[in-house]
Every structure is written in structure tokens, then in C-alpha cells.
Chains A and B, each alone.
Chain A
Amino acid sequence: SQQGEEDPQALSIQEGENATMNCSYKTSINNLQWYRQNSGRGLVHLILIRSNEREKHSGRLRVTLDTSKKSSSLLITASRAADTASYFCATDAGGQNFVFGPGTRLSVLP
């Protein structure tokens, strides 16, 4: 089974609202990354959080990591229509091997 699982599978919000998506994983990790994918495009890296970090910010993004619960959350504040995309968490499975979850599809309605 996959290492990372995002929740919810799909999320629809109004512009200006905050969006929160979660990622759970099964085994110990060195770091966890979040990526965004616009429809029909490749993935774009958003943020990396190491296992010894609890929270990280980048612009309107806030990522938390709880290693005791094996979970992470991505918060997008003051969402915009341009944030409409799929969001994936990726955990390292050792060495060069990343494992991606199935993603959360976010729709931000104008």
C-alpha cells in the first residue's frame, strides 16, 4: 500500500477561504514534501519539512508535521482561483526513493 495518503480526496472552497489538506503515512520518514500539479502539467515543489521540524511557512502556505501521529497538513490561506490544482505529499522511503500519495483535488471557486 502507498506510504502517503492525502485527505480529503477532493475539496471545493470559495476564493478567500482557507484550504486544509492532510497527509498520513505509515513508516518513519526523513522528510516530507508537498507538490502541486495543475491540470495536464508536471508537479511543482511547494515545501519540504524535515522530520525534526514541526511547522514551516512559505508565503500563504503553512505545513505542519506530527511524527508521533505520522501525519502532515498543508494549509493554504486566503485561497485564489489560481490555487485550483491537485496537491500531493511525498515521503522519502530511503535513498533516492520518493513515494507519492494519490493527491487532493482542490477547486477554488471565484
Chain B
Amino acid sequence: NAGVTQTPKFQVLKTGQSMTLQCAQDMNHNSMYWYRQDPGMGLRLIYYSASEGTTDKGEVPNGYNVSRLNKREFSLRLESAAPSQTSVYFCASGRDSSYNEQFFGPGTRLTVL
């Protein structure tokens, strides 16, 4: 099992460019999450999907959109990248309730110039 995979691992964008971060899990989990991690800030939830076909905003959703393509895949899109979106992005998955652990991908390091 690969667990949670993310692509790409690194990306450099210019201000205003768009891109999609891909995430896939092979653990048959219902829930998937996107976080960003900035120095000294811990992880902040951007969006989550409790099940296929549903998405909800987290703490910092502005500037992002998500798509739960199917049970396995959850993508994060930046329509018009800004320097404030320079961060490390983590995708995670989990089972049905908050009593279960989350499994994290290796992260995507994004720099917006």
C-alpha cells in the first residue's frame, strides 16, 4: 500500500499562475483533508471532504478550491497564486470520525514568486 501520495513534491509559480495539487489514498478512507504548514504556525486546515461528493471549508479556505474526484482522490487548486500562498501543503486521509487518526502524505513545497 502506498498510503497517501501527493504530486508534485516541489513547485515554483509566479504570482497569478494557477496550479492543481493532486492527492490520492489507497486505504479506502472516507475523509480527506488539505492543510498548509507555515513556519511556527503548525498545520492549518484549508478544506476537507467527509465523504465522496462533499467538501467543506476549513480555517483558511480563501484563494483555494477543491475537488473530491472520487473516493481515492482529492485535489487542491490555486486559481491565481499569491506570495502569501508560499507554504508546504499536506494532504491527509482518515476514516469516518474524528476519533480516528489521520494519515499524511509527504507534502508539496510551493513557492510563489
Determine if B101 and A45 form an interchain contact, defined as CB atoms under 8 angstroms apart.
yes
Known contacts: A30-B98, A102-B41. The answer to whether A97 contacts B58 by CB under 8 A is yes
Interface size class of A (residues with CB under 8 A): 20 to 34
Determine if A48 and B101 form an interchain contact, defined as CB atoms under 8 angstroms apart.
yes
Residues of B within 8 A of A (CB): 4, 31, 33, 35, 40-45, 48, 50, 56, 58-59, 90, 92, 94, 97-99, 101-107
Residues of A within 8 A of B (CB): 2, 4, 30-31, 33, 40-45, 48, 50, 88, 92, 94-103
Nearest chain-B residue to A2 (Cβ)? B42
Contacts of A95 in B (CB 8 A): 50, 98
How far apart are the CA atoms of A42 and B90 in the complex, in Å?
A: 7
Give 8 CB contacts A-B under 8 Å.
Answer: A42-B105, A43-B104, A45-B103, A95-B98, A96-B31, A96-B48, A96-B94, A102-B42
